Structure 1
Amino acid sequence: MLYLSSFCTHNMEVILLKWLSVCFAGIVFYLVKRLLVPKISYALPPGPKPSPLLGNLRDMPLERAWLTYAAWGKQYGEISSISVFGSRVIILNSAKAAIDILEKKSAITSGRPHMTMTRDLVGWDGSLIFQQYGERFRQIRRMYRMLFGSPSSVKAFHAIQKHVTLRFVQNVLNKPEELSAHVRKAIQTTILKISYGYDVQEGNDPLVELANKAMGQFSEATTPSAYLVNTLPILKYLPSWFPGASFQKTALFYRQTLRDLLETPYNLVLEQMAAGTASHSFVSSQYEGRSLSPEEDDLIKWSALSMYAGASDTTFSPIYAFFLAMTIYPDIQAQAQAELDSVVGTDRLPTFDDRNSLPYTNAICKEVLRWNVVVPLVAHVALQDSIYNGYLIPKGSLLFANIWQILHDEETYPNPEIFDPTRFMGSNPQPESREACFGYGRRTCPGVNLADASLFISCATVLAVLRIKKHVEDGKEITPTLEQTDGSISHPMPFKCDIVPRSAEAEALIWG
């Protein structure tokens, strides 16, 4: 026993000595590495000097942030940054920086900002726009790709788009002073038909009114500087009666509007399917020959709403901007109409088959997207540390691609404030506006082909049969200007114009 005890004690000493030797060797290796291997450190992108306590809170723009960020780009370069309560915000003011960071490094820069107000309090967490890159995100995108992921797949909706566009032109002639409402309703009619098989009523439609209300609230809630709770998420725990916590009551009101929009058209499809009266739509097609789990049901419900949310304002904005551009630039309108008369003639309406033969009309569509930027700032989140041009992009940083600045870069687009379709024509065209305006990386807009088709057929049809003129007051023509609204989705401020048929032949085409 004594021998066994001595043996165990000896072995323990040996093991202890070996362990201490390994630890000592590790410490020596670490110290030698620190002394001999230079530590590489990277600076954060430059930007306004922060204050000790508030960071750059005072520098945060309260409206039209893209203009302030563009000014920083001229001062600090293509990539700049600020700090707000310890959170890093990085602004990308060039197409190169946006492509290098958001596309080439998309695996680590495809995160989504949390947006506490919109996601947690209002309840938009189930929608595509707020999904982090993962299985749910891929499932929704997969369904969209099957529906309208390519120009050829979008052909299935051409008949709907042509019908809605003709109805739109008729409404514009009846009440041209309500142009904005007509544009919005035409887009809603198309997307509600595609997603839910819903036929919008003439006049005031209850579902359209509900959708307008919900999307207006969404745009306001997602404005980066609108709510401090987006910067300080801990504020979401404040009770609504607490001073400064009125956002809680606002969120509760917005939440109910969202739930109504999520459930109402979806339940209507289910009721029609049960009665055997449902039209073919995205929702009804998902149920054909299938028994769905609650998780699948929730996924389809949010996918349909995300489809509507993604298409309504983002398609409304360029079509409304087209009318503004044609009002300001009558010579461009006349040149496009001459092209249409030459290619299509005056005895029929243009179709999608005419598109390849209408280069100037196509160029107008491209210039509308560049001139009036629908989504001025595209937000991503860095999922891990990375380096760009010697600058550190820390994990968790909010990345803003300043699409407005990218499409108004004077070096890329000379005289960017001028509406000039010819910049996309000839032997040396300027870069396609569509490449930037629909986003970068894995979060590009999935409905780009549908939106592009709607823009073309709307512009071509309007140019073929209508004349858009400057409004006259007190005998003087009023020339409007492009002034964009604030918000995550931007569109032209209201403007006045006069709209009449181009000719008696055109009027006959309009009314059939």
Structure 2
Amino acid sequence: METHLSPWVLSLVVYLFLSLANRIRRGSGRRLSGPARLPLFGNALQLPRKRVWMKLADLAKTYGPIYSLQIFRTPVIVINSVEVARELMEAKSANYITRPLTKMVELSGYDNGPVLEPDAGRLRFQRKLLHAALGQGQVQQYEDAQEYHVQTFLRNLAQDPEHYFRHIRHLAAGITIEVSHGYRVRSRDDEFVKEADIFGENFSDAAMPNNYIVDMLPFLAVLPSFLPGMGFKRKAESYKKQYYALADRGHRWVQNEIAKGAARPSLTQIAIAEWKPGQYSEEIIMFSATQVYTGGGDTTTVILAAFLSFMVKHPEILKKAQAEVDRVVGSERLPTVADRPNLPYVEAVFAEVFRLKAPISLLPRLVDQDDVYNGCPIEKGTMVFVNVWGMLHDEDKYPDPHTFKPERWLGGERHPNVYPLDIAFGFGRRVCPGRHIGEDFLFTAVARTIALFNIAPGDESSGGVLVSELGKTFSGRPRQRFSITPRVPNVEELVRYRGE
């Protein structure tokens, strides 16, 4: 019992001492407004463990678009305004680029890669690689990959609608690994996909705040592994071994394809072709590509699953979108990205899905150097929560913000501080580098699903399959049944992939 109690008693004493020192150092100068704080806990007890972004948006109604909190000893600012986010994250992007890490993430090696890289120099090279391979000018290189994976998804949906979510996950994994490594997934049991799923589970476990005692008491990381309570060190080592093996395997596969003259366009292939010895570590290529394909599929999964859910709930909207596709494209071919400017209602549906189900609700950052906003100091080490969900549910910009209403995007100007697709991919130097590829790819999948299928409420007797009330993790219990059926007689011909 003493073994478990002593570190907690010690940490409490240290915490009280540091808290007092912190308060003396800060003094009573002007600071951002925010709710009253409790001794020791600050505002921690006021925040729910689930869907905290909703509570943060609610607090903004009282304290404004940027306000302050204290979570135990950690100072926090919350940004609920696109304008404030652009002023800080873009105009001062170098100061707001760091992402907070749990100690378990660091021990597991997951900070090696552009998603969580703490080293500014390495991150600069990683971002340069990502933009060179995934930027707007590179979109055309991945058109065949997009065509193959979207057509495979549509064919799977037509043949086996019951497992729609499996098809979405297969689509997400397939497109991301082809973009990152040029590897084409052809089997649902693909080993690369399985290993990526294992990585995802391991990373989620390691990244969960305060999931391990070492996250609360970081000094434990330097103690020997044989001591009681050090099981987290062995687990972190197994996570790191799996991650590094996955990265190495993918990189070697691309090198072999290049040697054979068979490599498809990909981030890794482009980076290797442009890489010069001594320019930067080849590890940077390896881990940048690995994090693209292990984490890049989340947006696809969230948006397509949410799209299907909204179409079940709003069949009248689906019918309007289908009528537009029929009128513009006809029934002898499927819509492409080139048709996008001529499909304003489909575009509106697409934008509204992004608004209500943005793939990331809350973007955490750390302040690297002391800063000032409107005369209020923002200290180095402050945690920043960029509340994307709150921004996209701002009732001043989006009347009736919780209602799925594509019409709000018809006939108006696409303002970057309002349009969901200009907000949902992030801000500043951490904006999603694959945005343009992802946007084209997802629009194509959505438009073609609209063209090919009727999606309607169903019941068990009619063979309707379950669709979940979607949360961020898709762990909610399925609550609504729907049926999905082809609406055109030539569906088999239309979903055929004509490449290779």
Q: Kindly state the Cα deviation for residue 318 of structure 1 after the two structures are TM-superposed.
A: 0.9
Match of 1:233 among 218, 221, 225: 218
Q: Does 1:189 align with 2:177?
A: no
The answer for the alignment partner of 2:187 in structure 1 is 202
Instruction: Give 1:396 deviation, angstroms.
Output: 1.0
The amino acid that maps onto 1:128 is P
| Cα separation, partners in 2 of 1:345 and 1:226, compared to 1, 3 Å | farther
1:89 aligned partner, one-letter code = V
CA contact under 8 A between 2:134 and 2:267: conserved in structure 1? Answer: no
CA contact (8 A) 2:37 2:70 kept: no
Residue 116 of structure 2 is matched in structure 1 by 130
Q: What's 2:405 paired with? A: 420
Higher radius of gyration, 1 or 2: 1
Deviations 1:144-186 (A, max 9, x none): 2222211x42122122211211111111122212111211211
Q: Residue 218 of structure 1 corresponds to which residue in structure 2?
A: 203
- Would you say the 8 A contact 2:79–2:384 is kept in 1? yes
Conserved? CA contact 1:321–1:492, under 8 Å: no
Q: Distance in 2 between matches of 1:429 and 1:269?
A: 40
Deviates more, 1:257-266 or 1:293-302: 293-302
Asked if 1:78 corresponds to 2:65, the answer is: yes
Amino acid in the other structure paired with 1:267: R
* Equivalent residues in 2 for 1:56-455, closer than 5 Å: 56-118=43-105, 120-132=106-118, 134-150=120-136, 152-224=137-209, 226-227=211-212, 229-237=214-222, 247-288=232-273, 292-293=277-278, 295-427=280-412, 431-455=418-442
In the TM superposition, residue 281 of structure 1 has moved relative to its aligned partner by 3.0
In structure 2, the gaps of 5 or more residues are 1-26
Q: Which AA in structure 1 matches 2:171?
A: A
In 2, the alpha carbon distance for the partners of 1:479 and 1:187 equals: 20
Report the counterpart of residue 37 of structure 2 in structure 1.
Answer: 49
Distance 1:466 1:233 in 2: 53
Structure 1 residue 233 displacement after superposition: 2.9
- Indicate conservation of the 8 Å contact 1:333/1:463, yes or no: yes
Cα shift at 1:280 = 4.0
Aligned residue type for 2:35: G
Alpha-carbon deviations, 1:349-373, whole Å to 9, x = none? Answer: 1112111111111111111111112
Give the TM-score of the pair, scaled to structure 1.
Answer: 0.83
- Measured in 1, the distance between the counterparts of 2:398 and 2:463 equals 33
**DSSP-derived class of the 2:365 partner:** strand
Amino acid at match of 1:316: T
Determine if contact 1:328/1:480 at 8 Å carries over to the other structure.
no
2:466–2:478 Cα contact (<8 Å) kept: no
Asked if 1:461 corresponds to 2:448, the answer is: yes
Give the aligned partner of residue 471 of structure 1.
458
1:453-508 CA-partner distances (Å, limit 9, x unpaired): 1110100111111111223135798996744135xxx8987564321111213344
Give the % identical residues.
32
Q: 1:218 to 1:423 in 2, by over 3 A?
A: farther
* CA positional deviation for 1:443: 1.3
Q: Secondary structure at the match of 2:363?
A: strand
Relative to structure 1, is the Cα distance of residues 93 and 62 closer, same or farther in structure 2, using a 3 angstrom cutoff?
A: same
Contact 1:48 1:59 (C-alpha < 8 Å) held by counterparts? no
Q: Render the CA deviation track for 1:273-309: whole Å, top value 9, x for unaligned.
A: 4455444433233334866459531111012112223
* Cα separation, partners in 2 of 1:435 and 1:347, compared to 1, 3 Å: same
How has the CA–CA distance of structure 1 residues 121 and 294 changed in structure 2, closer, same or farther, with 3 Å as cutoff? Answer: farther
Kindly indicate whether the alpha-carbon contact (under 8 Å) linking 1:110 and 1:133 is maintained by their aligned counterparts in 2.
no
Contact kept? 2:99, 2:116, Cα under 8 Å: yes
- Residues 136 and 412 of structure 1: CA distance in aligned 2, closer, same or farther (over 3 Å): same
Counterpart contact for 2:349–2:406, Cα < 8 Å: yes
**Preserved CA contact (<8 Å) 2:141 2:265:** no
The separation in 2 between residues aligned to 1:470 and 1:240, in whole angstroms, is: 55
CA–CA separation in structure 2 for the residues paired with 1:241 and 1:373: 44
Could you tell which deviates more after superposition, 313-322 or 242-251?
242-251
Give the superposition deviation at 1:122.
Answer: 1.4
Match of 2:24 in 1: none
CA 1:223–1:414: 2 relative to 1, 3 Å: farther
Contact 1:45 1:391 in 2 (8 A): no
Q: Tell me by how many angstroms 1:74 deviates.
A: 2.9
Q: Which residue of 1 aligns with 2:12?
A: none
Partner of 1:484: 471
Which amino acid is 1:336 matched to?
Answer: A
Tell which deviates more after alignment, 270-279 or 387-396.
270-279
Tell me the CA shift for residue 85 of structure 1.
Answer: 4.2
Q: CA RMSD in A?
A: 2.9
CA distance in 2, matches of 1:212, 1:196: 17
Which deviates more, 106-115 or 408-417? 106-115
The answer for the alignment partner of 2:484 in structure 1 is 499
CA distance in 2, matches of 1:312, 1:346: 30
Instruction: Report the counterpart of residue 6 of structure 1 in structure 2.
Output: none
SS of the equivalent of 1:128 reads coil
Q: Secondary structure at the match of 1:437?
A: coil
Q: Distance in 1 between matches of 2:221 and 2:466?
A: 46
Moved more, 349-358 or 496-505: 496-505
Alpha-carbon distance in 2 for matches of 1:365, 1:78: 27
Contact 1:321/1:491 (<8 A) preserved:
no
Q: CA deviation at 1:226?
A: 4.3
Judging changes above 3 Å, is the alpha-carbon distance between structure 1 residues 55 and 493 closer, same or farther for their aligned structure 2 residues? Answer: same
Question: Which stretch has the larger CA shift, 395-404 or 470-479?
Answer: 470-479
Deviations 1:174-223 (A, max 9, x none): 22121112112112212212221212132311111111221233234334
1:112 shift after superposition: 2.4
Aligned-partner residue type, residue 137 of structure 1: L
Do the aligned residues in 1 keep the contact of 2:114 with 2:126 (CA within 8 Å)?
Answer: yes
Distance, in Å, in 2 between the alignment partners of 1:204 and 1:96 is: 45
Paired residue secondary structure (2:411): coil
Does structure 1 retain, via aligned residues, the 8 Å contact 2:361–2:387? yes
**d(CA) in 2 for partners of 1:476 and 1:290?**
54
When the two structures are aligned, how many residues end up with a matched partner?
468
